[in-house]
Amino acid sequence: MTNNVKHSHHPLFSLWIKSRFYVFIVLITAFLLTALIWLNNAAHVPENIISAVLSLCNAIIAYIVSKKKQKNRAYKKMMKTVYIWTLIRFFTMLSVLLILILTKTVEALPLIFSFIGFYIIHQLIEIGMMQLEVKLSS
């Protein structure tokens, strides 16, 4: 038996390629959340966890929508789909944040600041992974 099998055809390599975004973003989020809670002396744990989970869900949904097969779609139709999903995600996140703040379930400033931080980091990871995938596929 020869060892001429390309890595891209190996099942474990294919699984890693397909799942690396999810593994990477969850691990980074867990690490940053732990660090944030530790640095805050556990002062705002609910705010930090809610922000991390909300932003993480948003990033994963955005990634799934962007990876959806768009081969047979016209550019306008594809962009319309992305635009609609972006609006849905935005208003969902805004609604959750507003409900939590207006019901005084959490403190507003720690929630907003940690959400913005996680959101920026998740966007950077998402864009970086997409750029890497384009580079690897070409």
Q: Where are the domains of the chain?
A: 7-137
pLDDT in tens, 49-70: 999 999 999 999 988 888 776 6
pLDDT in tens, 5-29: 444 556 666 666 678 899 999 999 9
Q: What is the pTM of this model?
A: 0.81
Nearest 5°: the CA angle 103, 116, 113 is 60
The pair of structure tokens assigned to 88 is 């849905």
CB 108 within 8 A of CB 101: yes
